[in-house]
Amino acid sequence: MPGSTRAMAVCTVCGLVAATAYTVALGGNGWVWFLWVVLALLTLGVATARRV
């Protein structure tokens, strides 16, 4: 996995931790989870595109 893809994956995992902490501390927010899903899909797309 190239450096940029790895960095994006790390940001996605950190975003998951942050979204979970936000939900636990302040309650659920659909936008937080929507943005995390978008980030995860972008990361998946970049990782898939790099393999081709």
Within 10 angstroms of residue 46's Cβ, the number of other Cβ atoms is: 15
pTM for this predicted structure: 0.84
| pLDDT tens for each residue of 39-50 | 999 999 999 986
CA dist 14 and 6 (Å) reads 12
Q: Is 37 exposed, middle or buried (0-12, 13-18, 19+ CB in 10 A)?
A: exposed
| pLDDT tens for each residue of 25-40 | 999 899 999 999 999 9
| pLDDT tens for each residue of 6-25 | 999 999 999 999 999 999 99
51, pLDDT greater than 80: no
Find tokens 């190239």 and name the residue.
2
Structure tokens at 5: 């893809």
